[in-house]
Structure 1
């Protein structure tokens, strides 16, 4: 029996324990296992010019992600999905605070891409109670721009979040955001603008997007979840969302769309974020990320 190159590539991936937990498209663009370090993930710093005081306060609250063994006060370190470390994105201890980690890439061809990752989330375990409604939301986004030779030039920003809780109520549903936030000039050079696209207003429910995730019985236990998001760079449309055993209808989904910016051609940024619902830190942990494409 002779195998073609796609069958050979699939067999090799299935033989690799680190990759076999994913279902990637044929070309792996990035595989980030945080036992190897930060893998290019960094703090989302807001735009500024001349002075850091020009930064939008939404961005000024962000801090650098950490590599974490998920330490706990009661049983030591939890560790990652299959190793010691995960990427930890933590908010400040203020209700409504959020933090973002970003990976900055560019694309070489317009085609289907797939983002897969394993995640879990918890608030700071500073109370002897479950605290299942202390994390407001966790989410992810792309920040994309068409190529400089494209006739129809746009910046496109698909946003998705799992709204876990809001003002103490346990909500547990997936949402998207297509509302554009206002732009403001930064500095006097007419080169930089800012817009806080993660502002809390404008989120919409995904049809049938309610989902109850595993949240273990004491404030320090975690369980890892799988998530997959499919997107087509040719049409700039989302094509699929799955979390654990659920697949969701994205027929009503849309992205933020703004005119292309003069220096962001072929941009392919991806980011994760977390928000807290109480005056304690909330953390999103990412164990591993696989970004793949069909080109």
Structure 2
């Protein structure tokens, strides 16, 4: 038996891993029954005073470990355990929240992000409320190593625009438009930009998709996502959501000159926005990052 076959056999024997299709090296595989696993609040940049933080970042709070409680059945629990990582907005139309995991890469090569997710607004009404979640999505925040000529910061963004102002849209979008950057303080060490702002999102060709939402306000169903990206070429190479392979040939990430202190950065962010004056939830149960290096 060769090494690849043995590696696959060992992976298939472990239910926590066999639900993923990772590349040869698994960087992490987070099951939130073990805790937060390094996922935390995306705090906006600031210098000298917290008042220098952009208001869009100041609204962010810590993600939480949750059993997905609800008023009728008690708790939904996770895909294969008791706890999930839940990202929740404030109860204010247009509010968003995020969860981030910060690491660095040791070689610029192919990487694959896989995760199981579900989404729902807070069940405060006896109605389906399928248009109360505006969007949810994910992104990488990447920067080349310090030996690269010039250096570049690259930020692939995807979101599922579920609804806008009550209109059910259900489509995947990407964002390449840069938002203005702002220097903070007087030392030239810190800057900020709101890359998750509402402006600049573009429809992914063929990206309309109807996701399972179920029939009442408290029921959730888990979905699978897989995103392939190449750190050597800064190109997206694949995006799969459940049974759909989406065309990423037109996709472009945000690109900008390297920032001062972010060499070899590999940050992963999940986010959710509400389209009503109630909290929107994005829940994750199983996040796997793997690479071919």
- When normalised by structure 2's length, the TM-score is 0.99
> Which residue number in structure 2 is paired with residue 79 of structure 1?
77
Q: CA deviation at 1:44?
A: 0.2
Secondary structure of the corresponding residue to residue 251 of structure 1: coil
> Which residue number in structure 1 is paired with residue 269 of structure 2?
271
> Which residue number in structure 2 is paired with residue 23 of structure 1?
21
Matches within 5 A, 1:101-116: 101-116=99-114
User: Which of 275, 278, 281 is matched with 1:280 structurally?
Assistant: 278
1:164-211, Cα deviation, whole Å (9 max, x unpaired): 001100000000000000011112222111100000010001110000
Which stretches in structure 1 are left out of the alignment for 5+ residues?
none
Matches within 5 A, 1:104-253: 104-253=102-251
Secondary structure of the corresponding residue to residue 261 of structure 2: coil
Question: 1:95 & 1:188 partners in 2: Cα distance?
Answer: 35
Q: CA deviation at 1:220?
A: 0.3
Aligned length: 293
Question: 1:154 & 1:179 partners in 2: Cα distance?
Answer: 15
Question: 1:272 & 1:112 partners in 2: Cα distance?
Answer: 20
Secondary structure of the corresponding residue to residue 263 of structure 2: coil
- When normalised by structure 1's length, the TM-score is 0.99
Q: Which segments of structure 1 move beyond 4 Å, counting only runs of 4 or more?
A: none
1:39-62, Cα deviation, whole Å (9 max, x unpaired): 000000000111111100010000
Secondary structure of the corresponding residue to residue 91 of structure 2: coil
1:153-173, Cα deviation, whole Å (9 max, x unpaired): 100000000000011000000
> Which residue number in structure 2 is paired with residue 59 of structure 1?
57
User: Which of 11, 18, 34 is matched with 1:36 structurally?
Assistant: 34
Question: 1:13 & 1:151 partners in 2: Cα distance?
Answer: 39
CA contact (8 A) 2:94 2:273 kept: yes
1:106-145, Cα deviation, whole Å (9 max, x unpaired): 0000100000000000101000000000000010000000
CA contact (8 A) 2:150 2:257 kept: no
Question: 1:262 & 1:74 partners in 2: Cα distance?
Answer: 51
